[in-house]
């Protein structure tokens, strides 16, 4: 469901971009711990979320298996200007380091924040959740916005209502297509994600969102 071409996605400025993933990830990014200093954005695509994390003052590592997407991300800059609220002058944010690679195979450290937007349905669910969990530093946070197949007939009324809400958003906001490859249908359902999170991420908060997404947050135990 898209109203733009990949070329539009490349050229549209960040502040004009809206889609389901951005809609549900925004409040998660806005609520990050003030103590967080480092972040890993998994499946970063063209770098939209990595830039939002950098705007929060985090030193960001962003990884994606698609070299074309990483090329587009790098073309949009490695630093983001922050505004000093007292002096109203631009400050240099921490840099973004982009890497081409498979998150399941690459050697990576641990991070105060690990983010994954529309990524888990590209991976084996349990392997993916386990890997994301292991990349979170003690006391850190995992934030996920994901796609999954509905569990019909239970989810049918929700999906019908979502089509009306979707039309409203598209009318006033448009819909930004990130221009990256999308796997669909997802190989797992919303129920599968919830049950896997219960097993692998004790204490995680799973929410089935209205517009064909779920959100998942998890706090790693402190050392």
Residue 175 domain-assigned? yes
- CB–CB of 110/140 below 8 Å? yes
Reported as a single tens digit per residue, the pLDDT across 85-131 is: 444 444 445 689 999 999 999 999 999 999 999 999 999 999 999 99
The Cα 150–Cα 175 span in angstroms is: 22
Residue 104 domain-assigned? yes
Calculate the average pLDDT of the chain.
84
Reported as a single tens digit per residue, the pLDDT across 161-178 is: 667 676 666 666 666 566
Q: How confident is the model at residue 9 (pLDDT cuts 50, 70, 90)?
A: very low
Outline where DSSP puts E strands in 37-151. 38-42, 59-64, 81-83, 90-92, 96-100, 111-117, 136-146
Residue 223 domain-assigned? no
Residue 166 domain-assigned? yes
In the 8-state DSSP scheme, what is residue 116?
E
- CB–CB of 42/61 below 8 Å? no
Counting the structural domains of the chain, the total is 1
Residue 141 domain-assigned? yes
The Cα 137–Cα 123 span in angstroms is: 22
Instruction: Give the pLDDT score at 90.
Output: 43
Instruction: Give the pLDDT score at 8.
Output: 44
CA distances from 207 to 19, 54, 74, 211 (A): 18, 26, 32, 12
- Domain around 33: 6-218
Residue 109 domain-assigned? yes
The 3 state secondary structure assigned to 27-65 is HHHHCCCCCCCEEEEECCCCCHHHHHHHHCCCEEEEEEC
- CB–CB of 217/28 below 8 Å? yes
Judged against a pLDDT cut of 60, whether residue 150 lies above it is answered with yes
Q: Which residue's entry shows tokens 């779920």?
A: 214
CB atoms within 10 A of CB 25: 23
Instruction: Give the pLDDT score at 197.
Output: 98
Residue 124 domain-assigned? yes
Q: How confident is the model at residue 141 (pLDDT cuts 50, 70, 90)?
A: very high
Q: What is the CATH number of the domain that holds 50?
A: 3.40.50.150
CB atoms within 10 A of CB 211: 18
Of all residues in the chain, the percent with pLDDT exceeding 90 is: 61
Residue 1 domain-assigned? no
């Amino acid at each position: 469901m898209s109203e733009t071409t990949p070329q539009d996605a490349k050229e549209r400025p960040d502040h004009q971009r809206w889609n389901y993933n951005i809609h549900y990830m925004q409040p998660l990014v806005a609520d990050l711990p003030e103590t967080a200093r480092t972040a890993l954005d998994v499946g970063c695509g063209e770098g939209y979320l990595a830039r939002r994390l950098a705007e929060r003052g985090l030193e960001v590592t962003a990884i994606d298996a698609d070299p074309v997407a990483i090329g587009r991300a790098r073309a949009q800059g490695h630093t983001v200007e922050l505004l000093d609220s007292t002096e109203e002058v631009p400050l240099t944010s921490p840099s973004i380091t982009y890497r081409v690679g498979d998150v399941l195979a690459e050697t990576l450290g641990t991070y105060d924040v690990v983010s994954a937007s529309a990524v888990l349905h590209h991976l084996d669910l349990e392997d993916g959740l386990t890997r994301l969990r292991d990349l979170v530093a003690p006391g850190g946070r995992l934030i996920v916005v994901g796609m999954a197949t509905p569990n019909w007939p239970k989810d049918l009324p929700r999906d019908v209502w979502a089509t009306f809400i979707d039309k409203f958003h598209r009318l006033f906001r448009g819909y930004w297509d990130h221009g990256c490859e999308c796997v669909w249908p997802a190989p797992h359902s919303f129920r599968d994600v919830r049950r896997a999170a219960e097993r692998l991420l004790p204490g995680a908060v799973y929410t089935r969102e209205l517009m064909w997404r779920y959100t998942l947050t998890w706090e790693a135990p402190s050392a």
